Amino acid sequence: MPDNNKASATITPIDTRLRGHIRWQYTEEKSRIHSLYELAKNKVWKTSEAPWETLVDKSLPPSRLQFEPLAGFAPFESLSASRKIACSWYRHALEISDILHGEQGALLVSSQLVSCMPDVEAKLFASSQVADEAQHVEFFSRYLLESIGTVYPPSDAVADLIKAMVNDARWDYKFIACQILIESLALARLQDIRRATLVPVLAYAIDFISADEARHVKFGTDVLRRHLATLSASELQARSSFVVENVVRLSSAMNIYTRVAEEFGWCTRALRMHLRQNRIRQPQPRHDLFRQLTLNMKSVGLLTPETRERLGKLAR
């Protein structure tokens, strides 16, 4: 007999209002967005062609030791070799699960953007992004189910952002969240995982996924630069602050490591302190993350003086 409570816990209802456009004008003049659309069609890759036979060797950790964020944490170091590997795989599974949920959020929002985009060229590219995001969801879900055997629920910060994106009726906030916030953070995080991973199939897919995400950011840049130039200073700051506030929530979220600490009976406060010290010793990943976001915000005109200062403090 099915557990209805458990089933409902894995489903979140959405109720979004969307104001879109049907454009009856078609132009022969082609912009950079059309070039990106053509590139998207030529760069299609297939999840089924990834080297799944190299999927995983669970006797090895998922990442190189120098990239293990728990290394040096006394409770982690006290574990047996096999328990350390199990812990690393659990942390990895939580992290990839959050990435998977983020990709589904991007899939849902990009499908909404097909209706929202102001012209046909933009709608065509948005449709190609829907296909890209579907491929990403397909890959990460298969990767988790075949390597770990399960997909973990999203962390609170990720779930809240996805629900807010999908339910927001304002197309430009939806667009900013998807194309600037999520894609910028995803690009930086995927490159961190690519440098660290010992799993060949994951490295293979990340190379294709990163190229897709970079193309999405370029599309977002072209559309948003024109739109944001029409806004008042206060309207622009509101959208800029929206990005920063969500970055703060995501970057300060401890949901993954709280779950690791609970699973292994560790003190969450002590683990938080270890991770903070680890960021001080190895600041480059955090700097790379905020550098990517700062560059993308600057390119569309979202990097106000107030926001530049706040992001600079967060990157330290």
* pLDDT tens digits along 103-114: 999 999 999 999
CATH of the domain at 299: 1.10.620.20
DSSP state of 28: S
Give the number of residues written for the chain.
316
For the chain, how many structural domains are there in total? Answer: 1
Q: Within a domain: residue 20? A: no
Q: Within a domain: residue 242? A: yes
Q: Within a domain: residue 16? A: no
* pLDDT tens digits along 44-76: 899 999 999 987 788 899 999 888 999 999 999
Q: Within a domain: residue 31? A: no
Asked if 164 and 250 touch (Cβ cutoff 8 Å), the reply is no
160 or 252: whose pLDDT is higher?
Answer: 160
Q: What value does the mean pLDDT of the chain take?
A: 87
Type of residue at 255 = N
Burial class (CB within 10 angstroms; exposed 0-12, middle 13-18, buried 19+) of 45: middle
Q: Within a domain: residue 36? A: no
**82 lies in which domain range?**
60-314
CB atoms under 10 Å from CB of 312, counted, come to: 11
Q: How far apart are CA 94 and CA 258, in angstroms?
A: 11
* pLDDT tens digits along 214-270: 899 888 888 899 899 999 999 999 999 999 988 888 765 557 888 999 999 999 999
Q: Within a domain: residue 280? A: yes
Q: Within a domain: residue 17? A: no
